[in-house]
Amino acid sequence: MKPEPAAGFRFGFDRPLWLGLGVSAAVIVGGVALAFAVGRYPLTLTDVATILMRRLTGQASGLPQATEAIVLNIRGPRILAALLVGSALASAGTAFQGLFRNPLVSPDILGASSGAALGAVLGILLSLDVASIQILAFLGGLTAVTAVYVIGSLLRGGDGIVLLVLTGVVIGSLLGAGIGLVKTLADPYNQLPAITFWLLGSLAATTPADLVPLALPVLIGTVVLIGLRWKMNVMSLPDEEARALGIATGPIRCVIVAAATLITAASVSVAGIVGWVGLVTPHLARALVGPSFPRLLPTAALLGGAYLLLIDTLARSIAPVEVPLGVLTAVIGTPFFLGLLARSRGAW
Amino acid sequence: MLDVQRLAIGYGSHVIGRDLSFSLMEGRALALLGPNGSGKTTLLKTVLGLLPAKAGAVLLNGRRIDALPVAERARRIAYVPQVHAGTFGFLTRDVVMMGRAAHGGILSAPSACDHAVVDRVIDRLGLTHLSERPYTLISGGERQLVLFARALAQEAPFIVLDAPTANLDFANQGVVLRETWRLREAGYGILFTTHDPNHALRWADDTLMLRQGALLHHGASDAVLTGGHLSELYGIPVEELRTAGRRAFLPSS
């Protein structure tokens, strides 16, 4: 039996995990330095390092208070939030692409983002405070995916995975109609701009208080997903094949969906809807270390954080006003993705 | 021993076959022959415990297969599905490693033992040169052998193969069937489906003919495979060729 002619493009199928983690970590370090340095208020990296080091040891930095406030209360939290949200969306996207056996899937396939969006715009319509809006968004995301999962499991006949995805699409468009309704009811001078801004995603309003409610669910969900990475290769096979290999697919699928939804809902509730990150960064990670989940998932988790951090730095520096994240990720994601489709030749 | 007793098979509330009884010893090969839609794949999936039995039972060494936990089942009976391209370009080695999924905990990385087993089965099937290549970029015949290796990595005494020669060219059909026979000689119990009676005649000890969900004939391949029985099974005239003590069948018009 003759092997097919060697493929010209080997797209990193067998590079080791340390390489993926190393490259991602290097981009993160560079991205963090850049993000601290870029902005209207000039900061030197020495100042930043001094403030952070002194803060850790509990000493006063001796630098102007404004400088300290920018580092600790504005750019610092925003950098951490970008890393967390990017990492969360990338991990969820990677897990879902495997679970749904489709490399074109993103974390909102089961309605996590649209559910969170409906919760948030309702909160804005009701003029709630920021924390309540975030809680509503988080609960909206969880509720939407739970509904999709329960309804999808109740439907019988055909492939369970396909039914789940179709249910997600249907419920997602219903939620979209709900968002549309809220928009028409909203005050066009006050609430509508806030809703629009939220739906396009932004980290401009990140405060230190956002970090714990964001980090906690993201860390829990990510730890669960990374723990299951050894079984995710098998989970990306057709259901019967995976069961014949000894994997109880039902319970594991439920846990993966729950973990991915937790981190997606937490991210969306802080950053709004940031599309494309969960779709594009798994492919970048795949280009680095190949599709095998034990290598892919940890790499994607780091790389996603780096990616969103760079995008967010761009978002607040390329124009006199902040560019919504969702606009930038789409502008960058579209050509990237078309290029990917052109050269993939069916192998992911 | 794999013992199938008065099994009824089907999907949902739809029963497509009943009263199926046969058994398979370790070190024997059993071919399952039948027209499209006769229920071959459904029978295989029920034997594997992937579909619930509608009646009767599948016993593995006396234990009902549907009472076994899914991981334990995978350590006793392995499945080689029809060749597929797969969605992701996992390395061939990673694909074979999937066969070890039932041997470790849900959160555990492959052990040194798992790696040793994978190396051994890759070597045994002569796939070493492919082990660092993406599964999506090798040929159909090679993929079928990789799926064989994955099933061997399960270290189960029984292997069920769904149409192992379908979609393969003439040469690869030979390669795959010879490999199947080698597994039988190594002591595995082999159950495979095929559309070619000549494959059953040459590579299976026993043959089971399935028509519309019922057992038409069942016994030693030499005795069961006759022109008359095949005509009955497929509803067409069948020509039997004899040469140098060997037999072969052709559909005739």
Q: What is the pLDDT of residue B28?
A: 97
**Average pLDDT value for residue range A69-90:** 95
* DSSP string covering A264-302: HHHHHHHH----SHHHHHHHHHHHHH-S-HHHHHHHHHH
Predicted confidence (pLDDT) at residue A156 exceeds the cutoff of 80: no
Predicted confidence (pLDDT) at residue A1 exceeds the cutoff of 60: no
With an 8 Å Cβ cutoff, is A245 touching chain B? yes
| All domains in chain A, ordered by first residue | 34-343 (1.10.3470.10)
Q: What is the pLDDT of residue A10?
A: 46
Q: What is the pLDDT of residue A346?
A: 56
Q: What is the pLDDT of residue A345?
A: 61
Predicted confidence (pLDDT) at residue A111 exceeds the cutoff of 70: yes
Phi and psi torsions of A277, nearest 5°: -60, -45
Predicted confidence (pLDDT) at residue A7 exceeds the cutoff of 50: no
**Average pLDDT value for residue range A198-226:** 94
Nearest to B43 by CA among B75, B1, B70, B10: B10
Q: What is the pLDDT of residue B226?
A: 94
Q: Are B162 and B34 in contact (CB under 8 A)?
A: no
Among partner residues A1, A231, A292, which is closest to B94 by beta-carbon distance? A292
Predicted confidence (pLDDT) at residue A4 exceeds the cutoff of 70: no
Nearest to B204 by CA among B177, B230, B186: B177
Q: Which residues of B touch A1 (CB under 8 A)?
A: 139, 141-142, 171-172, 175
The C-alpha atoms of residue B206 and residue A245 are separated, in whole angstroms, by: 26
A6: confidence class by pLDDT, cuts 50, 70, 90? very low
Q: What is the pLDDT of residue A62?
A: 81
A118: confidence class by pLDDT, cuts 50, 70, 90? very high
A348: confidence class by pLDDT, cuts 50, 70, 90? low
Q: What is the pLDDT of residue A141?
A: 94
What's the pLDDT tens digit per position in A253-267? 999 999 999 999 999
Q: What is the pLDDT of residue A304?
A: 97
The C-alpha atoms of residue A89 and residue A326 are separated, in whole angstroms, by: 13
With an 8 Å Cβ cutoff, is B170 touching chain A? no
Cβ–Cβ gap A233/B99 under 8 Å:
no
- Higher per-residue confidence, A13 vs A232: A232
With an 8 Å Cβ cutoff, is A292 touching chain B? yes
Q: How is residue B110 written in tokens?
A: 């492959």
Q: What is the pLDDT of residue A344?
A: 67
Q: What is the mean pLDDT of chain A?
A: 90
Cβ–Cβ gap B74/A244 under 8 Å:
yes
Q: What is the pLDDT of residue B85?
A: 78
Cα of B206 to nearest chain A Cα, Å = 24
Q: What is the pLDDT of residue A225?
A: 97
Q: What is the pLDDT of residue B23?
A: 96
Q: What is the pLDDT of residue A63?
A: 86
> Which 3-state string (H, E, C) describes chain B?
CEEEEEEEEEECCEEEEEEEEEEECCCCEEEEECCCCCCHHHHHHHHCCCCCCCEEEEEECCEEHHHCCHHHHHHHEEEECCCCCCCCCCEHHHHHHHHHHHHCCCCCCCCHHHHHHHHHHHHHCCCHHHCCCEHHHCCHHHHHHHHHHHHHHCCCCEEEECCCCCCCCHHHHHHHHHHHHHHHHCCCEEEEEECCHHHHHHHCCEEEEEECCEEEEEEEHHHHCCHHHHHHHHCCCEEEEEECCEEEEEECC
Cβ–Cβ gap A246/B90 under 8 Å:
no
Q: Which residues of A touch B142 (CB under 8 A)?
A: 1, 3
What's this model's pTM, rounded to 2 decimal places? 0.92
Cβ–Cβ gap B70/A248 under 8 Å:
yes
Nearest-CA residue of chain B relative to A249? B70
The C-alpha atoms of residue A281 and residue A284 are separated, in whole angstroms, by: 5
Cβ–Cβ gap B172/A1 under 8 Å:
yes
Q: pLDDT tens for chain B, 253 residues: list them.
A: 999 999 999 988 899 999 999 999 999 999 999 999 999 999 999 999 999 999 999 999 999 999 999 999 999 999 999 888 788 989 999 999 999 999 988 888 999 999 999 999 999 999 999 999 989 889 888 999 999 999 999 999 999 999 999 888 898 899 889 999 999 999 999 999 999 999 999 999 999 999 999 999 999 999 999 999 999 999 999 999 998 889 999 998 6
With an 8 Å Cβ cutoff, is B87 touching chain A? yes
Q: What is the pLDDT of residue A5?
A: 37
**Average pLDDT value for residue range A218-235:** 96
Q: What is the ipTM score, two decimals?
A: 0.93
Q: What is the pLDDT of residue B209?
A: 97
Q: What is the pLDDT of residue A169?
A: 92
